[in-house]
Amino acid sequence: MGAWSLSMNNLGYAMQSDSFVSPAMYAPLDGLPHSAAFAISTRQELLWSNAAFASLVGQKPAMGSSLLGMFPVAVTRQLESALLGGITEPASVVQMVRGRRSYVRTWPLDPAAFGTRGLFVMIEPALLRTPSEQTFPLVVASDLGELEPLSRRELEVLWFTAAGLSAAETAETLSRSVRTVENHIASVHNKLGVSRRAELTRFAVEHGVLAFTREEWAKIVEQAA
Residue 102 lies in a domain: yes
CATH code, domain with 69: 3.30.450.20
Last residue of a domain, one of 113, 143, 173: 143
Examine the pLDDT at 49 and tell me if it is beyond 90: yes
For the chain, how many structural domains are there in total? 2
Q: Are residues 95 and 113 in the same domain?
A: yes
Range of the domain at 209: 146-223
Which of 205, 213, 224 is closest to 128 using CA atoms?
205
Residue 2 lies in a domain: no
**Amino acid 18: pLDDT:** 54
Average pLDDT over residues 6-17: 42
**Amino acid 85: pLDDT:** 67
Average pLDDT, the chain: 88
**Amino acid 178: pLDDT:** 98
pLDDT in tens, 59-75: 889 999 999 888 888 88
Q: Tell me the helices (H) and strands (E) count for the chain, helix number first.
A: 9, 7
Residue 1 lies in a domain: no
| Pairwise CA distance, residues 63 & 47, whole Å | 5
Last residue of a domain, one of 111, 126, 143: 143
**57: DSSP letter:** H
Environment class of 157 (CB within 10 Å of its CB; exposed 0-12, middle 13-18, buried 19+): buried
Q: Are residues 128 and 70 in the same domain?
A: yes
Residue 42 lies in a domain: yes
Q: Are residues 29 and 109 in the same domain?
A: yes
Q: Which residues contact 76 (CB under 8 A, 6 or more apart)?
A: 44, 67, 68
Examine the pLDDT at 135 and tell me if it is beyond 80: yes
Average pLDDT over residues 149-168: 97
pLDDT in tens, 26-45: 887 777 778 999 999 988 99
Last residue of a domain, one of 143, 171, 190: 143
| 116 or 101, higher pLDDT | 101
What is the phi/psi pair of residue 91, to 5°? Answer: -150, 150
Three-state secondary structure call for residue 152: helix
The pTM score is 0.87
